[in-house]
Structure formats: C-alpha cells, structure tokens
Amino acid sequence: LAGTPRNSLPLTQIIDKACQEAEAYRDAGVDGLIVENMHDLPYTVHPGPEVTAAMTMISAAVRRSCPNLVLGVQVLCAANQEAVAVALAAGLDFIRAEGFVFSHVADEGIINACAGNLLRYRKQVGAENIQIFADIKKKH
C-alpha cells in the first residue's frame, strides 16, 4: 500500500485486483474472505493513517463486489483497533486480532496483548457487532 517501501501500484489498481480476487473466490464457492495488507513488508507496529485509509477503501470495495460473503480484515502489524475502525466503516463482519491475550516478540518488536483495550475500543465506537477472531499465539 501507499507509504510502504515496495509498493508499486496505485490504490485504484490495488482495489481492482482485490475485488477481482474476491469475486474469483466467491465464484469458486467460498463462504468468507479476509482482507489483509500482507505484502506491506517490512511491517511496523503502528502503520500510518494512510494504511488505515487504504484498507478502508479496499475493504469497502470488496464488500460492494461481494455483498453476501462473510468478510473480515486484518491490518498488519497488530493494528487491531485500526482493523475495528476499517471493519465498521466498510461494513465487514469480523477482524483478525494478533496478540489478543499474550504478548510476544515478533520481527517487528514486542507485540503487547490487546484484549482489554480492543474490547473497550470496540464498545466505544459502537462496533460490538464486529466479531473478533483472535490469535492465541502468533500464527508464525
């Protein structure tokens, strides 16, 4: 995405590609999808607002192109509150939260557990309908 060292595509192309891929998965019969910024390497613990804005635009476009799929989002790295904001704004169903109950050391540094702050934030912004799919331990 914009602002990351290896980005080479304008946001409009990224949105088009995300929608094309989502539609291909939908047409293949999947029940749900997750939107992630997994190619924003190297990750930072606090991605900038440009990442949150882009993820919101991408997620909203995927929601419009696949209105009947269960859709979620993860904003890397461990930007769990940002993911709730994206999901709420884009009309998504869930987020994937990294470091929910255990802190851990990752290649980005120390990732602190976020359950207390994340659940409070979700309540504060009126996003209690957004489910949280949480990693108990980091997936890799």
* Domains present along the chain, CATH in parentheses: 11-134 (3.20.20.70)
Judge whether residue 138 has pLDDT over 70. no
Tokens of 105: 């050391």
Confidence of residue 11 (pLDDT cuts 50, 70, 90): very high
Position with higher pLDDT, 108 vs 36? 36
Which DSSP string corresponds to the chain? -TTSTT--S-HHHHHHHHHHHHHHHHHTT-SEEEEE-TT-PSP-SS--HHHHHHHHHHHHHHHHH-TTSEEEEE-TTT-HHHHHHHHHHHT-SEEEESSSS--EEETTEEE---HHHHHHHHHHTT-TTSEEEE-SS---
- Which pTM does this prediction carry? 0.94
Q: What is the reported pLDDT for 104?
A: 82
- pLDDT, tens only, 62-71: 999 999 999 9
Position with higher pLDDT, 139 vs 88? 88
